[in-house]
Every structure is written in C-alpha cells, then in structure tokens.
Structure 1
C-alpha cells in the first residue's frame, strides 16, 4: 500500500495546544469541579486534581489550539523540499478558520489527504472538536464523527497507526521512531511539556511555531522512511 502512496498528494500537519487558562486558580468554580471529575481516574497517589492541570492542554474540552503547521513535499531539480505554513493566533476561532480556508486551496492544488503522528486519536479530533466549540463549519475531510476507521483511512493517514500494524495497545512517540529510523531531529527542540509555559509565561509564539514546523517535517520524513524513500534534510525546510 505504502509504495503506491503519492507523497505529493499529502498535507502533513502538527498542532500545539495549551490549557484554556494559564493556571488552575483562574478557572471558575464550575470548571474546577469539571476538571476534578475529569481527573478522578488519573489520580494515583492522592494528589489534588490541581496538580494535574498541566495536562489540560491535551483535552479539547479544557484546552485550545495555538498553532497548526501544515506542510507538503515538493521537488526542485530532483531534490526534495518541504514547504510549510503555520497558522497561529490568540483567537482560536480565527486560527481554525484560516487553516480551513487554506485547506480548501491545498485540496484544489491536489492535496487530498492529511497526515499526522497520532492524528487519529489527537490532531484530527482535536481540531474538529475545537472547530465545533468555536462554531466553525467542518471541512468534509474532518467531518468524521461516527465514521469507521476503514471509511477514513484513505484520506486521513496516521504514521502511528501505520507503525502499530493492528496492535491497538502499542503507542510509540514520534521522537522514538525518528531515533529508530535515524531521522535527524533538531537539537534545539523544546519539549512538548514546555509549550504551555512558553505561551502563557514567556509569550514566545515564534519559538513554538519553529518547534511545530520541525515536528511536521519529522512526520513527513517518517512516512518517507516507511516508503523507503529519501528523507528531507532540515536545510530543505522552507517556511512560507
């Protein structure tokens, strides 16, 4: 299947998310109650739910998207390049609308598939859920509520699912697979757990964008490795 996959038909993406509020104490009493209920099965040592609030960004009910990077593989004189565009804004509704508008243009240009690492369980549903929260109409490719996995696999590609080979218990991080396949990763990457602090405390969105864009290239390179194709060096990453 992979050998017949046209890499130039795919738009690779990665999202960065943060908690809706910078600190637990800024939540209303109702939202604190809801968070405590959400965390009731995650508390292992009797710690208060407040101590787990740094996880809020991974839940679409308690977090928001601050950056979506989308890129694609192209050829120039026989050399592969990766062109990436990032969508970012403190106004999440504006960010999502801008990304959806760009997706229409990408689709018209022949990019008819989306690919992300763990996209099936995180990126794709997170974008769709936050779009609904913000009253933004979903594009057809993400309007998949209730769809069966085999109904969407042609349009939504997940490099994690490809690696699982049907093993539903197995999770492997993007960084681990990059190391396994000898895919170079930048040494200046921030850790995903630092994104909320960098956003809320340091207000350094540019640093987050660079991190997101490099992860998007890593996803593309991982799929290229699966296919047995030449990977794209970081110096061939072009931000537009």
Structure 2
C-alpha cells in the first residue's frame, strides 16, 4: 500500500513543545494543583510536582508549541527535492500559519499528514492547542465522525509496529537500524525547554525540529525501499 502513495501528497511534520511557563512557581495556584493531580501517576513518589514540571511540555493542557516544521516532496521531471520550512513565534501565529498551509496546499482528500508517533503526540497536540487558542480545526485534524480508514494520518512508528500494539521505537533508533545517516545534533528533546526559556535560541530549536522532519521522510523512503534523500535534494525555504 505504501508504494501506491504519491509522495507529493504527503506533508511530513514535527513539533517542538515546552511548558507554558518557565517554572512551576510561575503557575497560578489552580494550575499548580491541577498539574499535581495530572502528573501524579507518572511521577509517583520519585518527584515532586515542581520537580516534574520539567516535563510539562508533553501535555497539551500544560504546554505549548514553539515550532512546527514541515517538509514535502516535489518532482520536476527526474529531479526530486524535499522542501522544508518552519513556523515559529507566538503560538497562535504558528497554529494559524500551519492551518493556512493545510488549507492552501494539503486540503484535498488525497493529501495525508505524516509524523513519527504523530497519532499519539503531534496530531492530537496540535488539535488540542488549536481548540485552546480558539482556532477552528482544519479538516485534516478534525477526526469527529471519521471512520478509521478515513483518517488522513500516517505514522512511521505505527508503520514499524506491524500490528504490535505495545511496541515503541524512537525516531533515532529507527533511523539507526534502517541505516539512515544520523545528522550531527547538538540537542535532544529534553533540552528544548532550557534552550527556549534560558538561552532564547529559537533558531537552534528550529534546526532540531527540521532534522526530525527530514529523518521521518527518510524513514518513510526506506520503508518503501526507495533511495534516500541526498543533501543536495533537501531545500530549506
């Protein structure tokens, strides 16, 4: 089935998120209490709610999106390219720009969204943050009433499961086992909060996010047994 998909109909994406506030003490009392309740199961007795706040960015109720990077294939004759771009700034701006991209270029039935662990994280996170910010959901993220086969989402982690519902594989590990060259990264997901709030280095976050988009596309190509992208084929716009 993967072989039948037109690569130009797929929008690959990745998001980077951080806690809504720089620290737990910046939250109001109600939010602190709700965070303590929300995180109780995950942190158990190992961490206090304040210590565990470092991880708040992974929950849409307590985090926010600071970058959405996307990539898509284009073909002109025999020339293939993969164009990558990013949205950053204030979260409502990011979400509205991403929504506009979907509306203008990826709104047809044939178009699909693809991310690694996207069905569990990226897609619902974006949708929840849109609702929180009062933004109407674009068709590609509004799943109400859709049958499973009508949901326009691809997930490279799900594809790798091959029906094994309990299996989790990171993008980095999957790229490694598939022989995809790993670009030099100067950060990982656990560092995004500090890079954003302490270093104010959004460009560094964007570069990291875009690398994940490219790697997701590379994994997808390998799963179709196609030639990987070369550096010359990757265009940042």
TM over 0.5: yes
Q: Is the 8 A contact 2:69 2:85 kept in 1?
A: yes
Normalised to the residue count of structure 2, the TM-score between the two structures is: 0.94
Deviation at 1:147, TM superposition (A): 4.4
Unaligned 5+ segments in structure 1 are none
Unaligned 5+ segments in structure 2 are none
1:36 counterpart = 2:36: yes
Aligned equivalents of 2:223, 2:168: Cα separation in 1:
17
Matched residue, 1:54:
54
| Secondary structure class of the residue paired with 2:164 | coil
Q: Is the 8 A contact 1:9 1:110 kept in 2?
A: no
| Secondary structure class of the residue paired with 2:106 | helix
Aligned equivalents of 2:183, 2:114: Cα separation in 1:
21
Note the aligned Cα RMSD (angstroms).
1.7
| Secondary structure class of the residue paired with 1:47 | coil
Normalised to the residue count of structure 1, the TM-score between the two structures is: 0.93
Matches within 5 A, 1:45-84: 45-76=45-76, 78-84=78-84
Aligned equivalents of 1:121, 1:109: Cα separation in 2:
23
Q: Is the 8 A contact 1:12 1:216 kept in 2?
A: yes
Matched residues, number: 237
Aligned equivalents of 1:150, 1:66: Cα separation in 2:
31
Provide, for residues 57-88 of structure 1, a one-character-per-residue CA deviation record: whole Å limited to 9, x for no partner: 00000000010011111235634321011110
| Secondary structure class of the residue paired with 2:67 | strand
Aligned equivalents of 1:115, 1:108: Cα separation in 2:
14
| Secondary structure class of the residue paired with 2:211 | helix
Q: Is the 8 A contact 2:222 2:228 kept in 1?
A: yes
| Secondary structure class of the residue paired with 2:99 | helix
Matched residue, 1:94:
93
Aligned equivalents of 1:81, 1:225: Cα separation in 2:
16
1:192 counterpart = 2:198: no
| Secondary structure class of the residue paired with 2:235 | strand
Q: Structure 1's 26 and 54: CA in aligned 2 closer, same or farther, altered over 3 A?
A: same
Deviation at 1:28, TM superposition (A): 0.8
Q: Is the 8 A contact 2:107 2:140 kept in 1?
A: no
